[in-house]
Amino acid sequence: MSTATSLTPWTDLDEKAVASARALAADAVQKVGNGHPGTAMSLAPVAYTLFQRFLKHDPLRPDWLGRDRFVLSCGHSSLTLYIQLFLSGYGLELKDLESFRFADSLTPAHPEYGHTKGVEITTGPLGSGIASAVGMAMAARYEKGLFDPESKTSLFDHNVWVICSDGDLQEGISAEASSLAGTQSLGNLKVIYDDNRISIEGDTHVAFTEDVSARYRAYGWNVIEVAALADGNVDRNALEAAMTASLNETTKPTLIRLKTVIAWPAPKARGTAKSHGSALGAEEVAATKVALGLDPEKSFQIGDDVLAHARAVQQRGAAAAAAWDAEFSKWESANPDRAALLKRLRNHELPAGWEKSLPVFEAGKDVATRAASGKVINAIASVLPEFWGGSADLAESNNTTIEHGGSFLPASSAMKDVNPYGRIIHFGIREHAMGAILNGIALHGLTKSFGGTFLVFSDYMRGAVRLAALMDIPSTFVWTHDSIGVGEDGPTHQPVEHVASLRLIPNFAVIRPADANETSIAWREVITRQKPAGFALSRQNLPVFDRTLLASAEGTAKGAYVLVGTDGTPDVILIATGSEVSVAVAAAELLKSEGVKARVVSAPCLEWFEAEGASYRESILPAGVKARVAIEAGVGAGWRNYVGDAGEIVSLEHFGASAAATHLFKQYGFTAENVAAAAKKSIANAR
């Protein structure tokens, strides 16, 4: 296909294609009665220029490994993307644009990953798209290190293009990620900022007056400013020159600050807040079509010649992909080991027997699950070169460092242990951006990454966690310091509601292992399942259970299992997670001495447990046993589903305090004696 160095002349058919794209955006919103027409109208020449003349892509092979990635960070302007997918021939047709925002259509309100071909990422929450694009750009560099560290080929060199809005750059997550992108010298990241100065409340200067260009230059970005034409239209020639210049900048990310007029060329709606999020109205749509030289009486109009011209990008894309394939074949022959790795990663496979590398922890020595996780992370890294990650400036506390992995930093960095293809990511204190970057790495498709912080700070990254679950991508979050066990750091750092809150996110696995061996098995499952998941790990040391006396930690794979059984039907079932499992075991011993048969169920992941069949769930929590106690050092929300009306919940329904963990657990009732008392109460309730 055409590239920046071999651009074909801009023709009258290109002008007609852009005019049609503007009208299609107005028509689609007008038909459904709601949406965001203005930005899609003004950005039509921008998106068309990108898809037709700069983006390396093959519409007939949307998953081509050598393609550039495109992120529409301003996801509310989804028509900007959908119309280009239609014009380029990704599979969308006019009927799909006519069904915009309707149920079961391929054109939902915001782009949804996995739903529409050509959509690389779900966007909508402002700022998340550009932040995840940073992750994609980082992933591209890491993958370059796996397959071509000597830079002998351009096979693994591609760009990540982004269109973002004022709203994206107002969100803090974009600032976090953009700052890191500058530090990382991500020359493969190209961002076009639609500076139209309009949002729902009107002129953005009511809240957003900073010098964005100066801010991004301070981040270490290459900034190019492109003014609008005198009539308000996009200066497409200046934009194309800026895009070409961005390709020549390979040591810095580029921000193209593009001045636009929203809803151009609508006679009355242009430049107005109303055009941002409302249909223009039939009269204004008709007047706009007149201004565009189109028939005002026709809707969803596109000339056959215009569509054929636009879809010629398919031939150009196929030719580029074929040339890539030919070069790839040569590389494959010359690099059999790297080619085998690439094949495995593209097929989402794991090497045979990889799990044998995972550590087994011996009983007799207490180990914090964060420490156990650190050992497991390094064991995984020893056999999976695609495994990399880091922390939001808490690596020593989170135990997320891959030993001798090298710091993932550009070669120009003056820091120690620099390796542009290193395995240790330093996210800085940027939790939200870290989450979005992990999502971008996962979406890029070949590697497995993780990011750590304290569990209490999962609040800062919840939006990214939710998007990972929504997209069903294998982002892995390592949260440590999981309870009042944090101790003297006090209530600001002691998560109370967090585990319960995270469990509310659909399609997301929350894992709170009871000991080191549960942690090891849980990591195995996370790597194997390739689904979104988050660990809640202890700061304090926990006993490593003697598995010759208690059940195997393999039960972790089923989410919940009987750790301590009884002869015959138990009188009561004690269900616990994390550090409270050892409390439940001690309580069972107390009850046993009093003639009460207590089953202890360790439930490290309720989501995995719920995914098991009904017969297995019944075998663990038989319906006939009504006496139950749930024990977890957090709010008790959700546990009533497991203990029933007769059950008791030993929980924490208030914030913690600054004191030693041992003191707090005793003060708040997380003791064997209190759990045993709750068990007796539940037995009485069940009679």
DSSP SS3 for 494: coil
Q: How many residues does the chain have?
A: 687
Count CA atoms closer than 13 A to 602's CA, side-chain side: 30
Do residues 100 and 107 lie in contact, with contact meaning Cβ atoms separated by under 8 Å?
A: yes
Contact call for residues 531 and 509 (beta carbons, < 8 A) = yes
367-387 burial string, b = 16+ CB within 10 Å, else e? bbbbbbbbbbbbbbbeebbbb
DSSP 8-state symbol, 542: B
User: Phi and psi dihedrals of 473, rounded to 5?
Assistant: -115, 150
Contact 565, 572 (CB under 8 A): no
Backbone dihedral region for residue 118 (phi beyond 0: left; psi -120 to 50: alpha; all else: beta) = left
The SS3 call for residue 109 is coil
Burial call 269-296: b when 16+ CB within 10 Å, e when fewer: bbbbbbbbbbbbeeebbbbbbebbebeb
Cα–Cα distance for residue pair 340/336, rounded to 1 Å: 6
Of 9, 78, 70, the residue nearest 43 (C-alpha): 78
Q: Which residue, 613, 20, 628, 622, is CA-closest to 308?
A: 20
CA distances from 87 to 56, 119, 164, 264, 302 (A): 16, 14, 21, 20, 10
Among left, alpha and beta (phi > 0; psi -120 to 50; other), residue 204 is: alpha
d(CA 626, CA 573): 8
Report cis status (omega within 30 of 0) of the bond before 265: yes
DSSP 445-466: -S-EEEEEEEGGGGGGGHHHHH
143 tagged catalytic = no
Q: Which of 176, 284, 431, 648 is catalytic?
A: 431
Catalytic residue IDs: 431
